[in-house]
Amino acid sequence: MKNISNQKKSKAKIPVKDSSKNYTFFEDVWSVARQIPKGRVTSYGAIANYLGTKLSARMVGWAMNGAFKAKPKVPAQRVVNRNGMLSGKMHFETPTRMQELLEKEGVRVEKDKIIDFEKRFWDPLKELGL
DNA sequence: GCATTGACGAAGG
DNA sequence: CCCTTCGCCAATG
């Protein structure tokens, strides 16, 4: 079944600064991201999976885009793709900002990729349980 | 209001 | 093993 008017049912409204009543998928993502322990990282898919929308990992990435303006600050540098690559570093203040933040927390990064990613990996589903 | 894109990911060739 | 396609859903043009 194909719903053509699917674009009309927008329930998430991030570009809102005042209306805090807008509880969205994005805020959920931020909440999880903020719980990532220092020196640990996770993936977009893991967060999406935790929120029950694992097929929508892209939305997590999109949420991170809005995380830039989120308050309190969201450690977006701890969220990378499933490959352990700093795919979103280009969206930081500077392209090197993300790596600097990670290395500052003890995460080794080389060529935009996290070393020992599997060790550093922090799965909300597993760590936070349910 | 339709088409394209996007900080992803899994599956298929 | 590398590249392409598809799915997901919201934002943007």
Q: What digits encode the pLDDT tens for the residues A98-124?
A: 999 999 999 999 999 999 999 999 999
Residue A24, pLDDT > 50, answer: yes
Distance A55 CA to B10 C1' (A): 9
Between A82 and A130, where is the model more confident? A82
Note the strand C nucleotides within 7 A of protein beta carbons.
7-12
pTM: 0.84
- Measured CA to C1', the nucleotide nearest A24 is C10
Tens digits of residue pLDDT in A84-104 = 999 999 999 999 999 999 999
Q: How far is CA A17 from CA A9, A14, A21, A24, A62, in A?
A: 21, 8, 10, 13, 17
The amino acid at A10: S
CB distance under 7 Å to strand B: residues: A 4-5, 7-8, 43-46, 48, 57-62, 64-65, 67-68, 76, 79, 81-83, 87-88, 90-92, 98
